Amino acid sequence: MTILGSAEGITTRGLQGRARRTVTLSTKITPRELELISAASEADGRPRGEWVREAVLKAARSSSIALRADHLMTEIVALQLFLTDVLSPVACGERTSAEQYQELMQNVKTNKQRAAREVIAQYVVENEEERHA
């Protein structure tokens, strides 16, 4: 993929309150991919370049949002694991030693990503079931 930048020869006509676009993003596609993109842009009633631009931006935005959501879910699940493991002995009147605490923290660090993936997978399954119900 090629990125070209040039501010020369660009006019301000038609900007309608948006920032000037000065960078070109280029990639190679197959003739079949061009047909698919052209058909999609025609069906959407927009020029192919605008359609491609919006598709690329939409994918970039959703990718970064999903990444942040995954990190956030991982930390929420880590907190849940920590609280569950700490509060259970406390509720029973037991004390936690420094070694037990360190072991607990290591357990949370080791298992939080796997546990978060399981929680996310559960939500996906539940949402699919709701959509098809």
| Residues 57-79: tens digit of each pLDDT | 888 887 766 667 788 889 999 99
Q: pLDDT (tens digit, 9 = 90+) per residue, 80-105?
A: 999 999 998 888 999 889 999 999 99
25 membership: H or E segment, kind and range: strand 23-26
Instruction: Among 26-30, 31-35, 61-65, 81-85, name the one with the lowest average pLDDT.
Output: 61-65
pTM exceeds 0.95, yes or no: no
Cα 95 to its chain centre, rounded Å, is 40
Pairs from 89-96 (Cβ < 8 Å, separation ≥ 24): none
3-state secondary structure of 2: strand
CB atoms within 10 A of CB 77: 21
Cβ 86 vs Cβ 96: under 8 Å? yes
CB atoms within 10 A of CB 88: 10
Annotated domain spans of the chain? 32-132
Q: pLDDT (tens digit, 9 = 90+) per residue, 36-55?
A: 999 999 999 999 999 999 99
